[in-house]
Amino acid sequence: MSHWALSERPKVSGPGRLKYDKARQAELLLLPERVVELNEAAGAILRLCDGQRTIATIIGELEAKYGQTGLEDDIFEFLAAAAEKGWLEVCP
């Protein structure tokens, strides 16, 4: 899926899961047969992709957390890339 709607509720695709690695001080996305080390922004976005929050909610929470506005395009771009890689799916 290349275009997300603000009302959609993304979640990390099963059986993938997130884990914080204290030694690396980084979020890791654990996937079958591989581990992806995420930067801070990617980890923050994926942590909010719980299947309950809408994309609009995720954007609002991240803008509040970082005290910034205008993050929508960057978040949509990341979500599209993550979905293309099979990291995310949309909850019905």
pTM of the model: 0.91
Rounded CA-CA distance 10/92 in Å is 9
pLDDT in tens, 58-72: 999 999 999 999 999
Q: How many helices (H) and strands (E) does the chain have?
A: 3, 5
Distances in Å between the alpha carbon of 33 and those of 11, 26, 64, 88? Answer: 20, 19, 35, 17
Spell out the CATH class of 10-85: mainly alpha
Domain boundaries, the chain: 10-85
How many angstroms separate the CA atoms of 25 and 61, rounded? 22
Tokens 């603000």: give the residue.
Answer: 6
User: What digits encode the pLDDT tens for the residues 21-41?
Assistant: 999 999 999 999 999 999 999
**Residues whose CB is less than 8 angstroms from the CB of residue 23 and which lie 6 or more positions away in sequence, other chains included:** none
